[in-house]
Structure 1
């Protein structure tokens, strides 16, 4: 439905407590991944190039990777948010510039079925890995263009996030829940936002909101 409210939920640092890609690289990649990270942080390369080069440095069996992911800390309010969105007729999608295999593994832990838009982690022979980018856009340096995902939803967008990959879509979202780098970006650029202590705050806000609503200008 064109007027349906769409929640775009970031994964790394939002659903997960920490950046899962960094945890995986720290465990399984050549230390050169830090140098590539510095190139990205200083703006010399985009995130798509950065992650592609970093993942190529990984050496791990699928079983070892999955065991690490099973130990990743996740916001325990995720099932609550999924339930509220379902009950209120709100579309919820995890949109991440991270790794689809990791997100799918976490969702299975909670027995949740949520649409996922993310970079595709591909297992190669001899413990090697590569990335595909089915959600990239030619005008965007990210592996997953969140602005493209937001525009395809058709209705008002609620963004829930914490980092750089959320900056561009925050400017167009009707409501922003933010913490960490995203909250700082919103403050510096005059973008209204609601604090994001955990996903339970988003669930409570949605549960109490008078839906349907015109989200523009509600903050």
Structure 2
């Protein structure tokens, strides 16, 4: 049975060149010391992703959609992402966008580039109080059994990978929000903090700088017939289905 590849891609700093949250949204945060403290608390596992996101949004001041959009207009995609998408379309491979970020800026950037992808992320909720816009997030793809993640990339990957049909899950990421899912993916492309996590936890991964690196490696693995299910990941996926 020929394998069907399914790509599960992070957004900030993976599909985009920059971390959009830090590069654009955090411009509205004046108290950088408080912002850095929240980031440090999250990195040290003192708070969950949900707490981190909403605490950071509480720090936003003088928010304006017009100004935010002007920042988003300057955000760029990886130089080779369109080439990667074309290859996936040609081979009938699916791409899922998984992000701990917010729907508003993800949809804005995708629309700017005319891209339509299956995307799973958190929702930005706005409210106007005394003439000021306040922000908070909702988490439609959280896992009730996981208090850490805001958006369970693991669940999306597992629910969209069918071992019986020869489907191979490929995770592409760079950060903390990709840690959990990397244990359940058959193939992992990693950089930054995700690469460090995989190395420390004995998860086989391919390091990359851009989507050209990923595309070349996939084509090479296909030519060598080296794409296959990672048994450890398959067993973990099965355990989740069985409630383990």
Normalised to the residue count of structure 2, the TM-score between the two structures is 0.81
Answer yes or no: is 1:168 the counterpart of 2:170. no
RMSD: 2.2
Instruction: Judge which range, 200-209 or 53-62, deviates more.
Output: 200-209
Unaligned runs of 5+ in 1: none
Distance in 1 separating the partners of 2:45 and 2:214? 32
Summarize deviations over 1:173-207 as a string: whole Å, max 9, x none. 11111111111111111111112110122233344
For residue 213 of structure 1, report the CA deviation from its aligned partner: 7.8
Distance in 2 separating the partners of 1:114 and 1:67? 23
For residue 138 of structure 1, report the CA deviation from its aligned partner: 1.4
Normalised to the residue count of structure 1, the TM-score between the two structures is 0.90
For residue 119 of structure 1, report the CA deviation from its aligned partner: 0.8
Cross-structure match for 1:144 = 151
For residue 30 of structure 1, report the CA deviation from its aligned partner: 4.1
Distance in 2 separating the partners of 1:124 and 1:151? 34
Larger radius of gyration: 2
Query: How many residues matched?
Result: 216
For residue 18 of structure 1, report the CA deviation from its aligned partner: 2.5
Cross-structure match for 2:139 = 133
- Whether the 8 Å contact between 2:158 and 2:184 is mirrored in structure 1 is no
Cross-structure match for 2:195 = 183
**How do 1:14-93 and structure 2 match up within 5 A?**
14-31=14-31, 32-59=34-61, 60-93=63-96
Summarize deviations over 1:72-118 as a string: whole Å, max 9, x none. 23212111111111111111011011112121122122211111111
Distance in 2 separating the partners of 1:128 and 1:217? 44
Instruction: Judge which range, 87-96 or 37-46, deviates more.
Output: 37-46
Distance in 2 separating the partners of 1:20 and 1:76? 16
For residue 34 of structure 1, report the CA deviation from its aligned partner: 2.4
Unaligned runs of 5+ in 2: 162-166, 232-244
Distance in 1 separating the partners of 2:144 and 2:5? 27
**How do 1:84-103 and structure 2 match up within 5 A?**
84-103=87-106
Distance in 1 separating the partners of 2:224 and 2:16? 28
Cross-structure match for 2:123 = 120
